[in-house]
Amino acid sequence: MKKLLLGNEAIARGLYEAGVKFISSYPGTPSTEITEYAANYDEMYAEWAPNEKVATEAALGASVAGVRSFTAMKHVGLNVAADPLFTSAYTGVNGGYVICVADDPAMHSSQNEQDSRHYARAAKLPMLEPSDSVECRDFAKIAYNISEKFDTPVLLRTLTRVAHSQSLVELYDREEREIREYVKDPSKYVMNPGYGFKRHFVVEKRLIDLKAYSESCPLNREELNDTEIGFVTGSSCYQYVKEAFPNASVYKIGLSYPLPMDSIRAFSEKVKKLVVVEELDPVFETEMRAAGIRVDIGKDVFGLIGELSQVKIKKAMGIDTGDVRTFDEPVPPRPPVMCAGCPHRGVFYTLSKMKLTVMGDIGCYTLGASAPLSAVDSTVCMGASISMLHGFNMARPETANKTVAVIGDSTFLHSGITGLTDIAYNRSVSTVLILDNSITGMTGHQQNPATGYTLKMQPVPPVSLEKVCEAIGIRRVKTVDPSNLKALEAAIKEELSVDEPSVIICRKPCMLLKYVKAKPAFKVDDEKCRGCRACMKLGCPAIRFENKKAVIDKQQCVGCGLCTQLCAFGAIGEGK
């Protein structure tokens, strides 16, 4: 029986069938669902780690202990995990170890468009790239065989269009595996200079073996058809090429590092025109050119930015794809917004009103950067709000009373604690707001160490954010309810006025959590509304203006009551 599986669900299935026993990840779009689906199988232990570095190390530990282990992360998560990644190439594995990295070309939900294929090259690790859900499942399983055969961690790279597309997959049974014996071996696992230097020779020798494997393995294959034109491609681009040019010859790359250069060269000699189709950087093209293989069409027409597709590939190659309809008026864009009732809204309204400089972070609260709140000055990476605030305030101490950092609960535990330690240790007069909405929101509601539940919904003692801050050396730690705008503003004013580091924890659960019950929608009294637009400054999707009066959409309003606090005329009342 075939089932329609999301790429991520298919990878989870592959892990199950491959007998994987240990999974540790940190959520990140588009990788998150792999670990969520994996957690549904009782045979596999699965957890959320506080960050990708911890997850990668935990999974390496499980591999060294002798079980098949796994971690998944988004592309920028691999930056966090880069330290263990590079040295795990030296130690190799005991039980098979696969690291999944999900790239996000076109930045559907990311802060950059990096191409993780460079990591395979830099860390000298083999990389597999599935192009649909069947391959997600199959490649995940093959990755474990490669890992154990060559004694190496294996990178499995997906893209948004692979991870978040569904296609049909036949399901197979799980193959249980005995735990491998653990033997103490410092020369393999203690990477001090003496042992590590010797392991580098092993890494280089392994790459030579992997190159030979890449030439012969079925992951890389030639599909010889019409020889006028031949494509070298892999991952989602393979599907686009097959759709756009069903009769062309294709060399499909599944094991993308090390590349099967001899086979590609042989293919190039069979076709008249050689076209390399890859998203983002010219990784294949550069290596092919360096190997002396002629490339007739490549990045010169396809470009370095965003996603490709069947029509984009045709167009880039100068093929007419016909006219399309247009709508002859400007269509207003529909950017994502904070939900009605979002506990972050009051915070950003207040920061904007106080005209503060705000070092932002990664999460739903990135949306505080959009109009009309327009409250965020910087967003770089997980945890950067706090460390950047420290540097900013050290460089400009005179504006420290007008500058704050804003970070979510999960992001704080991911990599905000170290930044806060810098503030406490080096005594910058900095004010940090932790927006604790009791969940990891943007990636779709994952538990974290502060929520009191594990991935498999086991209750656990939650991390106390207050105590963590105090233990680091922050003496002023305050907790406020961000739905009380007056109290919130007073707390921020007070902490900005003192000459020492402080933390304000703004605590209110995400409105989308099941246990948070919506209140009846609020109503605007037409008689009382003067059309002053004060309520519009909240950027609430439930409030709009009609005939110069505010109107509340009863489908969307959840009765959070922020707007009533802004109305000077008492025009907004509770609904029934």
Partner 1 sequence: MKNTSIMIVGVGGQGTLLASRLIGHVLIEKGYDVKLSEVHGMSQRGGSVVTYVKYGEKVYSPIVDPGEADFILSFEAVEAARWIGNLAPEGKVITNTHEIYPMPVISGLMAYPENVSEKIAADAEVISVNALDLAEKAGSGKAVNTVLLGVMSKFMPEIEESAWMEAIEKIVKPQFVELNKKAFLLGRAHQ
Instruction: Please answer whether residues 284 and 253 qualify as being in contact, where contact means their C-beta atoms are separated by less than 8 angstroms.
Output: yes
Residue type present at position 13: R
Out of 371, 395, 457, 568, the residue judged to bind partner 1 by CB under 8 A: 371
For residue 61 the two structure tokens come to: 């530990």
- Residue 543 found at the interface with partner 1 (CB under 8 A): yes
- 137 or 206, CB closer to partner 1? 137
Pairwise CA distance, residues 12 & 169, whole Å: 12
Q: CA triplet 493, 496, 501: central angle to 5 degrees?
A: 140
Pairwise CA distance, residues 129 & 286, whole Å: 18
- Residue 513 found at the interface with partner 1 (CB under 8 A): no
- 63 or 236, CB closer to partner 1? 236
- 30 or 254, CB closer to partner 1? 30
For residue 179 the two structure tokens come to: 């735990």
Pairwise CA distance, residues 18 & 13, whole Å: 8
- Residue 517 found at the interface with partner 1 (CB under 8 A): no
Instruction: Please answer whether residues 71 and 101 qualify as being in contact, where contact means their C-beta atoms are separated by less than 8 angstroms.
Output: no
- 32 or 411, CB closer to partner 1? 32
CA 444, 450, 451, 452 torsion-angle sign = positive
Out of 318, 333, 459, 461, the residue judged to bind partner 1 by CB under 8 A: 333
- Residue 181 found at the interface with partner 1 (CB under 8 A): no
- Residue 372 found at the interface with partner 1 (CB under 8 A): yes
Please report how close the Cβ of residue 364 comes to partner 1 at its closest, in angstroms.
7
Subset of 103-142 contacting partner 1 (CB under 8 A): 108-109, 132
The two beta strands, 248-253 and 221-223, are antiparallel
- Residue 309 found at the interface with partner 1 (CB under 8 A): yes
Out of 122, 149, 168, 291, the residue judged to bind partner 1 by CB under 8 A: 168
- 233 or 387, CB closer to partner 1? 233
- Residue 169 found at the interface with partner 1 (CB under 8 A): no
- 337 or 381, CB closer to partner 1? 337
Instruction: Please answer whether residues 198 and 166 qualify as being in contact, where contact means their C-beta atoms are separated by less than 8 angstroms.
Output: no
- 11 or 432, CB closer to partner 1? 11
Give the three-class secondary structure for 114: coil
Instruction: Please answer whether residues 447 and 453 qualify as being in contact, where contact means their C-beta atoms are separated by less than 8 angstroms.
Output: yes
The two beta strands, 221-223 and 357-359, are unpaired
Pairwise CA distance, residues 70 & 49, whole Å: 12
Q: Taking the mean position of all CA atoms in its chain, how far away is CA 151?
A: 28
Pairwise CA distance, residues 411 & 120, whole Å: 27
Out of 261, 266, 311, 317, the residue judged to bind partner 1 by CB under 8 A: 311
Pairwise CA distance, residues 145 & 213, whole Å: 12
- 164 or 221, CB closer to partner 1? 164
Out of 63, 91, 239, 411, the residue judged to bind partner 1 by CB under 8 A: 239
Pairwise CA distance, residues 376 & 416, whole Å: 17
Residue type present at position 426: N
Pairwise CA distance, residues 178 & 176, whole Å: 7
- 391 or 541, CB closer to partner 1? 541
- Residue 218 found at the interface with partner 1 (CB under 8 A): no
Torsions phi, psi for 491 (to 5 deg): -65, -45
For residue 159 the two structure tokens come to: 């893209």
Out of 329, 398, 499, 527, the residue judged to bind partner 1 by CB under 8 A: 329
Which one, of 74, 51, 36, 80, lies nearest residue 412 by Cα?
Answer: 51
Pairwise CA distance, residues 13 & 44, whole Å: 11
Please report how close the Cβ of residue 281 comes to partner 1 at its closest, in angstroms.
21
Out of 169, 364, 434, 469, the residue judged to bind partner 1 by CB under 8 A: 364
- Residue 327 found at the interface with partner 1 (CB under 8 A): yes
- 183 or 324, CB closer to partner 1? 324
Pairwise CA distance, residues 116 & 104, whole Å: 10
Residue type present at position 364: C
Pairwise CA distance, residues 88 & 84, whole Å: 6
Please report how close the Cβ of residue 187 comes to partner 1 at its closest, in angstroms.
44
Please report how close the Cβ of residue 503 comes to partner 1 at its closest, in angstroms.
26
**Taking CB under 8 A as the rule, which mask of x and - marks residues 415-454 in contact with partner 1?**
---------------------------xxx----------
Please report how close the Cβ of residue 195 comes to partner 1 at its closest, in angstroms.
42
Please report how close the Cβ of residue 354 comes to partner 1 at its closest, in angstroms.
20
Q: Which stretch binds partner 1 (CB under 8 A): 269-277, 308-316, 394-402, 478-486?
A: 308-316
- 88 or 236, CB closer to partner 1? 236
- Residue 310 found at the interface with partner 1 (CB under 8 A): yes
- Residue 328 found at the interface with partner 1 (CB under 8 A): yes
- Residue 167 found at the interface with partner 1 (CB under 8 A): yes
- 253 or 492, CB closer to partner 1? 253
- The number of residues in the chain equals 576
Could you tell me which residues come within 8 angstroms of residue 395 by beta carbon, excluding any fewer than 6 positions away? none
Matching residue, tokens 């009533």? 564
- 439 or 463, CB closer to partner 1? 439
Helix (H) or strand (E) holding 302: helix 299-302
Out of 240, 257, 267, 348, the residue judged to bind partner 1 by CB under 8 A: 240
Q: CA triplet 373, 377, 381: central angle to 5 degrees?
A: 115
- Residue 463 found at the interface with partner 1 (CB under 8 A): no
Q: Which stretch binds partner 1 (CB under 8 A): 82-90, 363-371, 419-427, 457-465?
A: 363-371
Binding-residue total with partner 1 (CB under 8 A): 59
Binding site for partner 1 (CB under 8 A): 2, 4, 29-30, 32-33, 108-109, 132, 160-161, 164-168, 239-240, 242-244, 309-312, 321-339, 364, 367, 370-372, 442-444, 536, 539, 541, 543-545, 555
